[in-house]
Amino acid sequence: MTDVISGPDTGASSEGSESVDTRPPGDIDRPMEWAPAEPAPKKRRLGLWIGLGGGAALIAAVGASLVLIAPGTTVAGVAVGGMTPGMAMDAIINRVATTDVTLTDIGQESQVSGADLGANIDAKLLAEQAFAERPMWNLGAWLGAPVAATVTLDAETATSALRAAAPESFIDATDAAVVFDDGAAEYVATPAASGTGISVDDLAAAFTDAVNEGATTLTFSGAPTPVQPPITDEKAAAGVEKLNGMLGTIGFYVGDERTVPVKPKVAASWLSVEAVDGELQITADSTQIQTVVDTLAESVNREPEPAKNIVDSDGNVLRTETEGATGRELADTAGMASEFATALEKGDAAYPLTVTETPFETTDVTRSLTVDISDQRTYLIENGKVVKSWLVSTGLPGTPTDLGHFRVRAHVPIQDMRGTNADGSTYVTKDVPWVLYFNGDEAFHGTWWHSNFGNRMSHGCVNMTFDAAKQVYDASPLGLEVWVRE
């Protein structure tokens, strides 16, 4: 039987057993000590803790998938998978800025970076689109096809950088220009001249291809290529046509009347033509225009002018002797110069004036001619009153001037007159002026072959001095009544 040492919490009983000394030899004097009982083992919860850690990792992974771009996504040659849109944007911008261009064919190669060239790409839009179309949580969007993008170069920045890197490739082109020729009083064009340079557009295309292929460097020929000036001969010709057209109409108008024309040289002092962003731009100086605006009132303002009609005894209008004109007064001119300058810059050279008009009156004058055979005088009568009279020579007894009531039927400034004498012979009188027919071949006319006015001398016509004949000729419209009396 095996003896068991019993003691507190050992689980062994001492009843019915002998006491045995188990001390080792030599330890007789050392008292016996009981070893403490081992504590009962606790239940392990490792599985629970492992479960909690895996759940947190899973939650973190799900959360990340909601804000990251799908793996395998490449935008503008940059792998942006696993990045946030903000990180992707920064990566794209950095790639474009640090891509280097090596210029060849210029003797000694030279290098410029995307930043030097003013390279630009819409990285924010590209990154946001990549995330919107290929979020990490969408497993079907993983490892998608690369997204290409377009890189642009700022023309001014790129040209400056290229010129510094390859100065021998640049010869400045000369713009065509539009200038005013004082002698011809019109605008003329000076011709353009081509130059050389490095094509920014071609470089931008090559830069775009390299970036989309994922390259961080590219080579590009810096050899000079022809460069046309922004302002071509064709643009200058169009500018000349436009400006000269403006010179033909420029002025201040009342209705359709160009009341105050502006001389070409004055107009040219108002206008300047400059190249702006590759186009010809017209600018107008309102301070120069104001000097003319200040004088408008004296040219525009006027009193009404009555119209005068010549009528016959029945009141029929035979001719408007004087055209009537409305009175007018110019309105306030404040701001006019500035408004006209704006209109000229748009190509409108006719400025409408605002005026207050006063109507004119019309007067009818009843006019007629009376030839008095007895006193050999012709009378111009208006409204029943004699206003002028002239000594004349009417027909001789054998070729008398017919009596009666007639009307003016024709005006002939000068002609050779032919006729028949009382004895049947014919005659031709050369260069008879101011011929006014009123009765068949009878007429008022100027006479150079005699000066015996006040006596009968003619073949039926009314002979007058040149001056008197001209006055009658001018005063007598077609249809004017002529009375021949004794």
- Residue 423, pLDDT above cutoff 70: yes
143: left (phi over 0), alpha (psi -120 to 50) or beta: left
Which residue, among 407, 391, 479, has the nearest Cα to 442 in the 3D structure?
Answer: 407
Residue showing tokens 């169009």: 238
Which pLDDT score is estimated for 419? 86
- Domain harbouring 419, CATH code: 2.40.440.10
| DSSP string across 260-282 | EE--HHHHHHHEEEEEETTEEEE
- Are residues 212 and 201 in contact, defined by beta-carbon separation less than 8 angstroms? no
DSSP-derived secondary structure for 215-264:
-SEEEEE---EEE--SS-HHHHHHHHHHHHHHHHH-EEEETTEEEEE--H
Among 7-16, 162-171, 342-351, 423-432, the range scoring the smallest mean pLDDT is 7-16
Q: Same domain, yes or no, for 414 and 445?
A: yes
Residue 41 within any structural domain of the chain: no
pLDDT value, residue 33: 40
Q: Which pLDDT does position 127 carry in this prediction?
A: 97
Number of domains in the chain: 3
Q: State the average pLDDT for the chain.
A: 89
* Closest CA relative to residue 196, chosen from 219, 162, 147, 220: 162
**Looking at 339, 358, 377, which one is the last position of a domain?**
358
| Inside any domain, residue 19 | no
Question: Is residue 313 scored above 50 in pLDDT?
Answer: yes
Per-residue pLDDT at 23: 41
Between CA 321 and CA 471 the distance in angstroms is 14
Alpha-carbon Rg for the chain, nearest whole angstrom, is 57
Together in a domain, 66 and 177: yes
Instruction: Supply 244's token pair.
Output: 């000269």
Predicted structure pTM score = 0.57
* Average pLDDT of span 51-74: 68
pLDDT in tens, 117-140: 999 999 999 999 999 999 999 999
Question: Is the predicted pLDDT of residue 287 greater than 70, yes or no?
Answer: yes
Angle separating helix axes 286-293 and 336-345, nearest 10 degrees: 130
Q: What is the pLDDT of residue 66?
A: 84
pLDDT value at 27 more than 80: no
Task: Print the domain residue range for 126.
Answer: 55-188+198-230
pLDDT at 62: 54
Find where tokens 């006055």 sit: 471
Are 271 and 290 part of one and the same domain? yes
Confidence (pLDDT) at 50: 37
What are 344-393's pLDDT values in tens digits? 999 999 999 999 999 999 999 999 999 999 999 999 999 999 999 999 99
